[in-house]
Amino acid sequence: AKNVGIIAMDIYFPPTCIQQEALEAHDGASKGKYTIGLGQDCMAFCTEVEDVISMSLTVVSSLLEKYGIDPKQIGRLEVGSETVIDKSKSIKTFLMQIFEKCGNTDIEGVDSTNACYGGTAALFNCANWVESNSWDGRYGLVVCTDSAVYADGPARPTGGAAAIAMLIGPDAPIAFESKLRGSHMAHVYDFYKPNLASEYPVVDGKLSQTCYLMAVDSCYKQFCCKYEKLEGKQFSISDAEYFVFHSPYNKLVQKSFARLFFDDVLRNASSVDEVAKEELGPFLTLPESETYQNRDLEKVSHQAAKPLYDAKVQPTTLIPKQVGNMYTASLYAAFASLIHNKHSTLAGKRVILFSYGSGSTATMFSLRLCDGQHPFSLSNIATVMDVAEKLKSRHKFPPEKFVNTMKLMEHRYGGKDFVTSKDSSLLSPGTYYLTEVDSMYRRFYAKK
């Protein structure tokens, strides 16, 4: 198969959200800390009737329906998630309800887990399958689904929730440049979930930022190396139209792009202008380990990279700023923002994606876009995702109601023998929701 990649996409996020400005005031944080300091506008969250399974059921059935895909045409289904509902039974098996009904149980694939990276692992598995000898001609389907919730404290505003589905096949409007990939994997305790009785992670916030930025550097180095071997010339930021980052919060995305810019200066890339070279000159001799904490370097590179950030990154930031960290779905929600904003001008363009999962695993990879043919065209993907309408029709909860929801979910986590309110009044038609967990921990869902 040629030009394997993403041929269709859909996104779902809960219609319930809280504005960061309101949360900031409620938490007693200084004004602007969440909105300017973290760069976030709003945060989606699941109420007691939604979870990662219901969101993935919703997004998969919506994708199949809106692109007119017969469930029998799916030959591989992979899920990326770090939200643990069951330590053995995969989310993929819950999704099989949709396919069994249509007589298709011949579907390979299970779940992939490592923090926010599971979705990328699932995506690579599906794309590799379509490119391989074992491909049977049917589509692959990737689902990224997560509910990011943090204990009360500084990390809480960096939560979020969403599910994304991506259909994988040949002749894709969004094709992998398969040879252009750089990875960085290491053993670190930056963010992890050792307490199986709690949904909340243990997080070393400062360390997690540094680990993320070190992974950006390392992946970029590998990526540039591979590009240069393949193309016989140097790679720099100017060789891609857009850069899409895993987005725990927007400020880290700004820092990451500034880091790539600094890397280009360090590599003496010909695309860097003389002014920037001069401004960043004093930092070129810093030992690498000191560059991650240096505030002056951060400030100067941020300023120097700003015009390029506005052109090459800003169009990817809409959904992550509005919905928050969606863990495995975060990177692909950023990419969905780009399609939403720029679908009519993306043909022929190269887009670089950076995926990061704490612990840690990271890959930088390249996509090449073309307009595609209906229903698998960029413009139809934008129409199906309907991002503006989904954002507009949300319900903003006051902070007290959000905090109470978090308390109820803490209480319910890992629980059995309860029925939910079954209140689907805030959900749009077609949305799945949780109705009951019985005495055997079996979960039951209904569709609105």
Neighbours of 283 (CB within 10 A): 18
Task: Give the span between the Cα atoms of 272 and 282, in whole angstroms.
Answer: 16
Report how many residues bind ligand ACO under the rule CB under 6 A. Answer: 21
Q: What share of the chain is helix, strand, coil (3-state, %, to 5)?
A: 45, 25, 35
Shortest Å distance, C-beta 105 to ligand ACO: 35
Shortest Å distance, C-beta 150 to ligand ACO: 6
In the list 99, 176, 212, 223, the residue contacting ligand ACO (rule: CB under 6 A) is 212
The residue whose two tokens read 């309101």 is 22
Q: In the complex with ligand ACO, which residue's Cβ is closer, 360 or 380?
A: 360
What are 180's two structure tokens?
Answer: 């252009």
Angle between helix axes 330-342 and 378-385 (nearest 10 degrees) is 110
Q: Among 219, 217, 222, 358, which residue's Cα sits nearest to residue 291?
A: 217
Q: In the complex with ligand ACO, which residue's Cβ is closer, 220 or 235?
A: 220
> Which region among 30-38, 90-98, 311-319, 391-399 touches ligand ACO (by CB under 6 A)?
30-38
232-261 residues near ligand ACO, rule: CB under 6 A: 248, 251-252
In the list 129, 191, 235, 402, the residue contacting ligand ACO (rule: CB under 6 A) is 191
In the set 42, 116, 144, 211, the catalytic residue is 116
In the set 46, 144, 241, 246, the catalytic residue is 246
Angle between helix axes 20-27 and 399-412 (nearest 10 degrees) is 80
In the list 59, 127, 144, 155, the residue contacting ligand ACO (rule: CB under 6 A) is 155
Q: Does 30 bind ligand ACO (CB under 6 A)?
A: yes
| DSSP for 366-428, written as a single string | EEEE--EETTEEHHHHHHHH-HHHHHHT-EEPPHHHHHHHHHHHHHHTT--SEE-----TTSP
Q: Among 339, 159, 315, 189, which residue's Cα sits nearest to residue 249?
A: 159
Task: Give the span between the Cα atoms of 123 and 112, in whole angstroms.
Answer: 10
> Which region among 51-59, 152-160, 410-418, 434-442 touches ligand ACO (by CB under 6 A)?
152-160
Task: Tell me whether residue 302 is one of the annotated catalytic residues.
Answer: no
Shortest Å distance, C-beta 154 to ligand ACO: 3
Angle at 80 between CA 437 and CA 172, to 5 degrees: 130
Q: Say if residue 233 carries a ligand binding annotation.
A: no
Shortest Å distance, C-beta 200 to ligand ACO: 11
Task: Tell me whether residue 116 is one of the annotated catalytic residues.
Answer: yes
Angle at 309 between CA 270 and CA 320, to 5 degrees: 140
Shortest Å distance, C-beta 334 to ligand ACO: 12
Q: Does 116 bind ligand ACO (CB under 6 A)?
A: yes
Q: In the complex with ligand ACO, which residue's Cβ is closer, 176 or 200?
A: 200
349-408 residues near ligand ACO, rule: CB under 6 A: 358
Q: Say if residue 289 carries a ligand binding annotation.
A: no
CA distance to 76, 177, 258, 281, 296, per residue, from 68 (Å): 18, 27, 42, 55, 53
Q: Say if residue 66 carries a ligand binding annotation.
A: no
Shortest Å distance, C-beta 191 to ligand ACO: 5
What are 170's two structure tokens?
Answer: 């040949």
Task: Tell me whether residue 411 is one of the annotated catalytic residues.
Answer: no
- Pairing, β 139-148 against β 74-80: parallel
> Which region among 50-58, 88-96, 154-162, 403-411 touches ligand ACO (by CB under 6 A)?
154-162
- At 132 the three-state DSSP class reads coil
**Chain-centre distance of CA 163, in angstroms?**
9
**Bridge-partner residues for 447, per DSSP?**
432
Task: Give the span between the Cα atoms of 413 and 429, in whole angstroms.
Answer: 26
Q: Does 328 bind ligand ACO (CB under 6 A)?
A: no
31-60 residues near ligand ACO, rule: CB under 6 A: 31-33, 36-38
Shortest Å distance, C-beta 298 to ligand ACO: 7
Q: Which residues are catalytic?
A: 82, 116, 246
Binding residues for ligand ACO (CB under 6 A) = 30-33, 36-38, 116, 154-155, 158, 191, 203, 205, 208-209, 212, 248, 251-252, 358
* Binding site listing: 208, 251, 255
